[in-house]
Amino acid sequence: MRHANVLVLTDETEFAQMLTACWQAERQAPGITVIGSELWREQDAPRHDLVVVGPLREGKLTNVLKSLYPGTAVILCVPADSREYGQLRTKYPRLVHIPLREDWAQTLLLVAGESLRRAEALRLARHAEQAAAKNENHATLGRYMLDMKHSVNNALTSMLGNAELLLLEPGQLSSQSLAQIKTIHSMALRINEVMQRFSSLASEMRDAETASQGETSDTAAPVSRRR
Amino acid sequence: MAADVHLWTMDKYGESTAVQKKVLIIDDSPAQVKLMQSLLEKEGYWPVGLSDPKQVENMIAIERPNVILLDVVMPDRNGFQICRDLKGNAEFNMIPVILVTSKDTASDKYWGQQQGADGYVTKPFTRDDLTRKVHELLSAALSRN
């Protein structure tokens, strides 16, 4: 898993120290930045995978939540009876809230771990989507080239054949024309080689795809039989 | 220029007669037909061209070719269909058919063979590729007769 970045936004030093200490005792600790509400400016901060909002000064919670990037995962860790939180619950129904009780640190670490895994999975899915879109473009280009192969081969037949016809009776041609026709002929042969390499590559790719599909269905089938 | 290619036959008086070998070229592209005609003429064959695939049987009945060069990708009627029809026709099925096409995959060649084609030449071809295959099939037909 990529190293995750967590921002802890709180005005309570004890909360920050406790959380950081618990996290650092874990096998995989994320990069943690602690900041108070007075110094917090979302536009200056680098993008974080998770924001943990701890106890803040009175009246700061609403502004802090409002300033966060909408896509950021947020865990709110404030007392359940906080007046400000009570008002925010209706506005942010999907906000993950962990009440500040005895075991808050352990609960928060569990929820944060899941939240970070989810963020990582989303990041990987986005990358996979981008890669798939790129591959789709390449596939379109490849299909177009395959479609054009017939026309290219027909044109090459004419080029090669007519050059060969002219070369059959070289007596009528000047030495310069003869050399030029030989060049046309050898270049046409070279294009033909390139097209043949392209054809064999296309056929290899088709075979590999068929084999891979066959293998997938071969391995998928016994699973249901094994039961 | 190469000497004319002749097929020796016996006439009704028992005299041997030389008949120039006729090659029917079927391709929807007149430029390709002309090219193959020129190449075969240089080799001493008697090439006859046809660009309309619907007229194949009529043309064969009139010209009685010794071998047929047949393109595959053509409008209205493709080369595989024509080959299948000719090989299913008792009057024409002894005439060797060579598919001359840009379709170059193993499955294309296999499918051509399934339709009864006697030879397969892939475009682009060289003069040698084409004339060697024509010569090979004509020799085989001659030895059969």
Q: What is the pLDDT of residue A221?
A: 52
A85 vs A159: CA distance, rounded Å: 80
pTM: 0.62
What pLDDT, on the 0 to 100 scale, is given for residue A226?
Answer: 43
Q: ipTM greater than 0.85, yes or no?
A: no
Q: Which residues of B touch A192 (CB under 8 A)?
A: 124
What would the two tokens of residue A108 be?
């928060």
Instruction: With cut-offs at 50, 70 and 90, classify the pLDDT of residue B8.
Output: low
List of residues 6+ apart from A4 with CB closer than 8 A: A30, A31, A49, A50, A116, A119, A120
What is the rounded distance in angstroms from the CA atom of residue B92 to the CA atom of residue A140?
A: 43
Give yes or no for residue A227 having a pLDDT over 50. Answer: no
- Specify the higher pLDDT residue, A65 or A7: A7
Contact at 8 Å (CB) between B80 and A177? no
pLDDT given at position A211:
79
Q: How many CB pairs under 8 A join A and B?
A: 53
B68-118 per-position pLDDT tens digit:
999 999 998 999 999 999 999 999 999 999 999 998 888 899 999 999 999
Tell me the C-alpha distance between B59 and B69, whole Å: 13
Could you report the per-residue pLDDT of A84-114, keeping only the tens digit for each? Answer: 777 777 777 777 888 888 889 999 999 999 9
Q: SS3 breakdown of chain A: % helix, strand, coil, rounded to 5? A: 65, 10, 25
- Min Cα distance B106 → chain A (Å) is 9
What pLDDT does B95 receive? Answer: 96
Contact A58, A37 (CB under 8 A): no
B-interface mutation test, from A157, A160, A192, most B Cβ less than 10 A away: A157
Instruction: List, for residues B40-56, the tens digit of each pLDDT value.
Output: 999 999 999 999 999 99
pLDDT at A212 over 90: no
- Beta-carbon separation of A157 and B104 below 8 A: no
Contacts of B104 in chain A (CB under 8 A): 153, 196, 199
Distance from C-alpha of B61 to C-alpha of A51, rounded to nearest angstrom: 86
Residue with tokens 């090659």: B23
Distance CA A96, CA A72 (A): 12
Residue-by-residue DSSP string for B74-100: -SSS-HHHHHHHHHT-TTTTTS-EEEE
Give the pairing type, strands A96-97 and A50-53: unpaired
